[in-house]
Structure formats: structure tokens, C-alpha cells
Amino acid sequence: MPLLKRKRRSEPRWTIVQRKLLAVLEQQENRILGPIRVCELAGYGDWAWDRAIKDPRFVTRLNQLGVSTGKPGRGRPWKHEGHLVVSLAADPEEELAKDVWDMRKLLSDYPRHCPPASYIVDFTTLVDPDLRAQVKRYFRQSKRCFPCSRLTARMPGIAGCASCGK
């Protein structure tokens, strides 16, 4: 009696967790979501992402889908650069023309005990372009006189310096 050879699988065998995560990521609109949100849609906690990306085949499949594996641990990269990475802008006018300001690039002296997100001033929440231009002009006039915490205390809806506690 001849021995029968098994057919090799062309597709890798995924765990249940990996299958559910991939099922969520197969939909194009879910590929831009962060790992924690993907896990929630799959019905798991954020531990599932950490466990799934330990498998190099799963990471390869994520790369094929164009999904970032994120940072190990919590599964997502930092939103803003750290204090040691940021330096003063060579051209402050170019920085001030943007709709999102990093005050650390505009002010040479700022308290480094506050988180980096405290120094981000985001004007994109203002939908009206004329109002946005006026508010930016106001902040531009105030930036040389006041530290970031005072700027953001004046208009807390625009920037998030409340974490600084000033």
C-alpha cells in the first residue's frame, strides 16, 4: 500500500485571535485605525494585539495589508516627538504658517517637565478660515510675551495644556 503524501497548505494557519483581527483588518476603512480600536472591533482587549504580533507571519501579513504594527507594548507609536528630539525652527515664519504649531520649536525656554502634547497648538479645530487666521494672529502676537501654559489657558479649546497644571 503506497504512502499518501499530505498536501501542503498554501495559507498559514492562524490562531483564533489572529483570524478575528485579520477579519477586521480586511475591511479597508479599518486599516487606518489604531491597534487598540482594531482589538475592540474584534472583541478583544489590547493584549490581543501584543500577542498576535509576536508571530512573524502575522506581522508579514499586516505589512502586506499596509497596516503598521505599532510600538511593542501598547501597540501604538508616540504622537509627538520628545523634548530631546525637538529643536528651534530655523525659520519661525514657516512654522507659524502651519495650522498646527509646536511651541517648543518657537520658544527657546519652556518647562520640560510637561508632556510634549502640552506644547502643541492645533488650529484645525476652527472650521472658519477667517476666524482661524484671526486667532493665529492673536497667538502670534502673544507668543513672545507668554509661555505656552499662559497661551493655552486663554483659549483652552484650542490647545491642550491642561495637563501641565498651570
CB neighbour class for 123 (10 Å; exposed up to 12, middle 13-18, buried from 19): middle
The answer as to whether 7 is a domain residue is no
The answer as to whether 87 is a domain residue is no
Q: Which three cell numbers stand for residue 110?
A: 519652556
The answer as to whether 54 is a domain residue is yes
Q: Domain check: are 51 and 104 in the same one? A: no
The answer as to whether 130 is a domain residue is yes
Q: Report the domain count for the chain.
A: 2
Q: What is the mean pLDDT of residues 54-73?
A: 79
Cα 19 to the chain's mean position, in Å?
25
What integer pLDDT is reported at residue 71 of this predicted model? 52
Q: Domain check: are 97 and 54 in the same one? A: no
Q: Domain check: are 96 and 153 in the same one? A: yes
Q: Domain check: are 54 and 103 in the same one? A: no
Question: Above 80 in pLDDT, residue 90?
Answer: yes
The answer as to whether 70 is a domain residue is no
Name the pLDDT band for 165 (thresholds 50, 70, 90): very low
User: Using CA atoms, how far apart are residues 162 and 166, in angstroms rounded to an integer?
Assistant: 7
pLDDT-wise least confident of 16-20, 99-103, 148-152: 148-152
Q: Domain check: are 38 and 96 in the same one? A: no
Q: Domain check: are 97 and 136 in the same one? A: yes
Instruction: Give the contacts of 101 (CB within 8 A, at least 6 positions apart).
Output: 95, 120, 121, 123, 139
The answer as to whether 79 is a domain residue is no
The answer as to whether 150 is a domain residue is yes
Residues 78/60, Cβ–Cβ less than 8 Å: no
The answer as to whether 40 is a domain residue is yes
Q: What is the mean pLDDT of the chain?
A: 77
Q: What is the mean pLDDT of residues 28-36?
A: 85
Name the pLDDT band for 33 (thresholds 50, 70, 90): confident
- Domain enclosing residue 124, as ranges: 92-164
What integer pLDDT is reported at residue 134 of this predicted model? 92
What integer pLDDT is reported at residue 130 of this predicted model? 93
